[in-house]
Structure 1
Amino acid sequence: MGKVTLVPRSAGPHVTTFDTLLFNTINVFPMFPLFLFTNKNLDLINTHMPELKRVKISHIRGKLHILDLKEIAKWVKEAGGIFCDEDLNFIQWSQAVKNFYQFKCLRDEDLGKEAPQALSYVEHFAFFLNQQDSEDFFAYWLKVEVKLRKEHQSKLYAFDGNMYEQEWTLVYVERISDSKYASSSLISPPTQTPSSSTSKAPSCKPEAPPATSKQPF
């Protein structure tokens, strides 16, 4: 029990809150999934926190209780929420990023936004958000973002702008290649009629697809 602050129903913007168990859990399992930080999933977790399964960490002093991440993912799925990072859409991902960053700042009470990990996540997430056509390319770069985020969490890698640029080049090439394929597949062979001045059969050779203009990187 502690001091309770009531929020008016017409308070305006969504107010994000984090239960203490979330902080305890991420201290033990730093590879924390982003999908738990969407507005909907945070509301589900906060509302049903008393009934969520806990795990006792016996080797930690005081035998700390944390949340069972696998059980939460299963429970969120049954409740109709997103239960996998790769299933997030751009809006959900953007929500989760904002909430996750706020969570990381609160986790380090002394440094807050100046904490090394918080700053590293700013660079990480901002890299993808600030790319040209970021939202249109989302389905192509999400898997890269998840991979790089997990590498940072597990190995504590610092942000490497050059390596991120190399990864984005591959994303760009994949996206543009798919666009060219989709454009060419829509082109059907033109219908030709026999010429009145010749008895030759009409040519069935399709016209060449128009060249796709390459957008600047």
Structure 2
Amino acid sequence: MSFNLIARKVRDTGLPHGLRVSQLRSCVQLYRPIGFHATLSFLKAKAGHYSVDEDALLRALEVLEASRAAWHTELRVFDEVRRRAKHQGARQPRQAERNPYREMWWSGAPREGALHALSFLLERRRIPVATGDAVAADLERCVVACLASGGALGSEQHLLLADCVRSLRARQIPAGWENDRAGYFRTRDLLRAARHVEIAAAGCVSDA
């Protein structure tokens, strides 16, 4: 079922409230720019206790729909930029180019979404810092600094974050999936947290 059809059920006052909340969660399954649970948490922070409040439920859906609409706009802009670049001979996107097809952030409010995701992950201990993992410990310091400043990082913190990302990417070898699945997923989760820090820091610069 499409996102828009499920969204109509969220708005259907003839349905039990609990079912409408379930339909909102189904919408989030289809569009979860900062992860399923973090997206639900962000909607609650923005809209209120939608699980028990009618108005909050509608606000939560509106927040989600607004971000999704902004994401679709980003996709259209990216397609147009790529079309022009290909016409000029650039067949592949630049590595530094933000690609809304390959990764997602909270479109319309990327810094706010990234900061909420980091806070959510940190509070629930979902940033997997393994004992003796110096890279993970350094990344956690970057996360704490990012949250404390509202996104901004100092020059040394930027360098530390870049070192963390390089080290974590070096761990992502194809054989890692078969040889150490727990380590593979831990590295993936750390890289996702690092990306939230990058987006929050970049958003802080662009908002200045």
Whichever of the two has the greater Rg, that structure is: 1
The verdict on a shared fold, with TM-score over 0.5 as the criterion, is no
**Larger relative helix fraction:** 2
Larger RCO of the pair (alpha carbons < 8 Å, separation 6+): 2
